[in-house]
Amino acid sequence: MRLTGVLLAAASIALMSGTAFAAWKEHPYNDLGFAVEFPDEPATATGTYHTVLVGNAPVHIYSRKEADASYVASVVDLQDRAADGASLLIEAEFELSLLGDVSANEVSRVEPGKAAVFGHFVTIDCRSDKAPDQPGQIEAARKWYKEVSGLDCPNKARLTVNLLFTRGRLYMIQGMNDPNADGTTALSPAALRFANSVSLFAPGGPRNRADGAGGG
């Protein structure tokens, strides 16, 4: 069950024709404790998550590229840093902010009631001329993002990330709208729809009841 603070944007998705998303299907990853919906079969890859606080950690990447958008679910294994989740989540948010201008930063909630996991729902308008606080900072952030997602963040692209940390894993559920041919920012709701589609498994592996017929 998914719920974020981006109520107006979510409402715009609800107004779209149901046929626009008819082909989307949930993909559960039991071993990583989450499920997410893709418009078609995703590619899989692994990478290295590298930051000052983390050092190096393995990241699992599931991605689908379409003509005008990309959808990426990145899961970082940080089992030995489970107690540091708050700091590691904010560090990831800081790295994202270096990719461009933060146009929205909302509270994200996945799953209801006592099963709820709270995080941040961040929207970045990408630009390459972001001014760094320190030399090399922007280049390092762009390298970080490429390694964790397989994507660049080109000028006028809009990146929406549902950022969560729970049970020793950092989840980055990312939808990116590519820039239009005329250089303007595309505003298709599909990227937002993807970022909102994440659900989390209950501890021990079963689905939460709120997730429908598959509930544990």
CATH number of the domain where residue 154 is located: 3.40.1000.10
Question: 207 in a domain, yes or no?
Answer: no
For residue 163, being part of any structural domain is answered with yes
Sheet holding 69-77, edge to edge: 2-4, 100-110, 117-126, 158-166, 169-177, 69-77, 55-65, 43-51
Which domain range does residue 144 map to? 2-202
Q: What H or E segment, with its residue span, contains residue 137?
A: helix 137-149
Q: What is the pLDDT along the chain (216 residues), one digit of tens a residue?
A: 445 544 444 444 444 444 455 689 999 999 999 999 999 999 999 999 999 999 999 999 999 998 889 999 999 999 999 999 999 999 999 999 999 999 999 999 999 998 899 999 999 999 988 888 888 999 999 999 999 999 999 999 999 999 999 999 999 999 999 988 887 776 778 999 999 999 999 887 778 776 764 444
State the pLDDT at residue 215. 43
Q: What pLDDT is stored for residue 50 in this prediction?
A: 94
DSSP letter at 178 equals: P
- 180 domain-assigned: yes
Total tally of structural domains belonging to the chain? 1
- In-domain check, residue 198: yes
Q: What pLDDT was estimated at residue 8?
A: 43
Tokens of 26: 């949930």
What is the pLDDT at residue 158?
Answer: 95
**C-beta of residue 171 within 8 angstroms of C-beta of residue 163:** yes
Work out whether the CA dihedral 131, 135, 136, 141 comes out positive or negative. negative
Alpha carbon of residue 179 to chain centroid: 19
Residue closest to 193 by CA, chosen among 17, 74, 31: 17
Residue 211, domain member (yes or no): no
Residue type, 198: V
Q: What is the pLDDT of residue 206?
A: 76
Whether the Cβ atoms of residue 90 and residue 184 lie closer than 8 Å to each other: no
Residue 208 lies in a domain: no
Give a yes or no: residue 50 inside a domain: yes
In a domain, 96, yes or no: yes
d(C-alpha 139, C-alpha 68), whole Å: 25
